[in-house]
Structure 1
Amino acid sequence: MKILVLAKHVPDTETVIKIASGGKAIDEADFKYMVNPCDEYAMEEAIRTQEKFKGESIVVSVGPSRAQETIRKALAMGIDRGVWINTEGFSNYLDSFTIASAIAKVVVEEKPDLIFAGLNTTDEGAGNVGPMVAEFAGMPSLVNISKIEWQNEGKSLKCERDVEGGIVEVYEAQLPLLIAPHQNLNDPRFPSLPGIMKAKKKPIAEKKASELITEKARIEVKNYKLPPEKAPGKIFKGKPVEEMVVEVAKLLRSEAKVI
């Protein structure tokens, strides 16, 4: 079985966001980066599936040179090799559509039986690159999957998807297929020291974004705005408790509009 996993290098969640002059870009000068947390569940499930059915696993990441850090972590966890779609020097805006179109060309070349993608990202939060890749590649996709039961020696599966109100949806599907795991599906492993050492020798193939991306972005960024600063809280004191409670209730109704 050939398994492909999608991974993104995203800003650390503790990063302070600053808008670049002109308002059309984010100032990334002081950013620190990390592996997108949801993608770690995709990596883990890819490794577990490979351990079960053998075969080969590949991680694909789109971005500048720092994206290789995410690829190396996936390799240290146990993925076999990486594909880096290099966006260095690519000036066009990359939306989900263009990114998915580039990854899909790797999918067509690699012909995987199964793709794992993160459910969401901590930077843009769209969660649509995975399903878009599946659509480009002509395969079905299942997202938010919390349980997988393999059938027919890995040629098909039954899986569960939790929805609101405690309802569980059950799906059956045949490969090829893209799956975006829910965090309840597994517990991502930490890379071991031997795994980290082996990752240094595992191959990463570089592909130029300029050669893969032929589609135009469907979204144009007009500008970025930070949310307005919150007004300072109000302090009530110097009056009987009963009167202050009445004042608080009035403010909750008239200003906060929560009651």
Structure 2
Amino acid sequence: MKVLVPVKRVIDYNVKVRVKADGSGVDLANVKMSMNPFDEIAVEEAIRLREAGKVEEVVAVSIGVKQAQETLRTALAMGADRAILVVASEDVHQDIEPLAVAKILAGIVKQENPGLVICGKQAIDNDMNATGQMLSALLGWSQATFASEVSIDGDHATVTREVDGGLQTIKVKMPTIISVDLRLNEPRYASLPNIMKAKKKPLDEKTPADYGVDITPRLSVVKTVEPGTRKAGIMVKSVDELVEKLKEAGAV
């Protein structure tokens, strides 16, 4: 069985995000970029499934700018077998919308014919949490979201999901789409020898036109603003004083 793993190039989670002075979006000038953390977990899970003998090949896919090659090379260095880059934009500030991404992924799935797609539950830049669900609908495949545990057994997958009330375990029929949560695993670091080997692994470049997909944006960003600054806290000497302060602030 082949596994497809979509990965996205985003601002590194350790970097403080800055908004452009004109409010038109996030400033990406000279900012460190890396693989979306949820996607790293998805890559790790796919590799573990291959190591367990459940799958034969792991294919990483990224849709965006040419610079996403670096993100794919990271996936290859972690252990993915090959990669596909769909160059959908020349502008690093243009974010390809989830529906367009899902349509491109659907086209890739039809060409590659994987038995499983593992993706991050959301990207940390836009927090859409939509691509996996849209891809499931387009393909007519089963889906299991927010996975914290995955087990493949024949033509079914058993997935433990993180839900508001705790944990939910479901069984889905293969082929399926699984979107992963933070507690599924801890991604491995790519070793230097594997980073060198990744440079020789296959990386194909495609365009949205190769899959007949129009990526014209349906949404426009009206304005982007930074979160408001929090007021400084105050120290109180007793519970009574705390209650009094809360009353004055209208909190109780």
Give your verdict on TM over 0.5: yes
Which residue is equivalent to 1:250? 244
Task: Give the aligned partner of residue 57 of structure 2.
Answer: 56
What is the rounded CA distance, in whole Å, between the counterparts of 1:124 and 1:172 in structure 2? 30
1:18 and 1:159 mapped to 2: Cα distance? 37
One of 142, 145, 159 as aligned partner of 1:143: 145
Cα deviation, residue 95, structure 1: 1.9
Give, as a single letter, the amino acid of the residue that structure 2 aligns with 1:225: V
Q: 1:29 to 1:158 in 2, by over 3 A?
A: same
Cα deviation for residue 191 of structure 1 reads 1.5
Asked if structure 2 preserves the Cα contact closer than 8 Å seen for 1:87 and 1:210, the reply is no
Aligned to 1:103: 105
Specify the code of the residue in structure 1 equivalent to 2:182.
Q
Counterpart secondary structure, 1:184: helix
2:43 counterpart of 1:43: yes
Deviates more, 1:177-186 or 1:115-124: 177-186
TM-score using structure 1 length: 0.85
Instruction: Return the offset for 1:94.
Output: 2.6
Q: Given residue 249 of structure 1, which amino acid in structure 2 is its aligned partner?
A: V
For the residues of structure 2 that align with 1:147 and 1:102, how far apart are their CA atoms?
27
Q: What is the aligned partner in structure 2 of residue 16 from structure 1? A: 16
Structure 2 distance, partners of 1:88, 1:200, is 23
Residue 144 of structure 1 contacts residue 182 of structure 1 at CA under 8 Å; is this kept in 2? yes
Change in 2 beyond 3 A, CA 1:163/1:77: same
Mapped pair 1:77 → 2:71: no
Q: How does 1:80-95 map to 2 (within 5 A)?
A: 80-89=81-90, 94-95=96-97
**Structure 2 residue matching 1:161: 3-state secondary structure:** strand
Residue pair 2:3, 2:55 contacting (<8 A) in 1 also: no
Change (3 A) 1:234 1:88: same
Q: Which shows bigger deviation, 61-70 or 213-222?
A: 213-222
Measured after TM superposition, the shift of residue 124 of structure 1 is 1.3
Correspondences of 1:166-245 after superposition (within 5 Å)? 166=166, 168-209=167-208, 212=211, 213-234=213-234, 241=237
Q: How many residues align?
A: 249
Q: What letter is aligned with 2:104?
A: A
Q: Aligned partners of 1:15, 1:165: CA distance in 2, in Å?
A: 32
Amino acid at match of 1:180: S
Counterpart-to-counterpart distance in 1, 2:151 and 2:210 = 39
Residues in 1 aligned to 2:77 and 2:71: alpha-carbon distance in whole angstroms: 10
Quote the offset at 1:92 in angstroms.
6.6
Checking the alignment, whether the CA contact within 8 Å between 1:114 and 1:178 is kept in structure 2 is yes
Q: Which runs of 4+ in 1 moved over 6 A?
A: none
**Considering only aligned residues, what root-mean-square deviation do their CA atoms show, in Å?**
2.4
Q: Which amino acid aligns with 2:244?
A: K
**Unpaired segments ≥5 residues, structure 2:** none
> Which secondary structure does the structure 2 equivalent of 1:66 belong to?
helix
Which stretch shifts more, 12-21 or 218-227? 12-21
Residue type of the partner of 2:180?
P
With over 3 angstroms needed to count, the CA separation of the structure-2 counterparts of 1:214 and 1:32, relative to structure 1, is same
Is the Cα contact below 8 Å between 2:77 and 2:190 reproduced in 1?
A: yes
CA 1:66–1:27 in 2, change beyond 3 Å: closer, same or farther?
A: same
Query: Does residue 130 of structure 1 match 2:132?
Result: yes
Cα distance in structure 2, aligned partners of 1:93 and 1:165: 33
- Post-superposition offset of 1:13: 2.2
Specify every segment of 5 or more residues in structure 1 that has no aligned partner in the other structure, as ranges: none
Corresponding residue SS for 2:66: coil
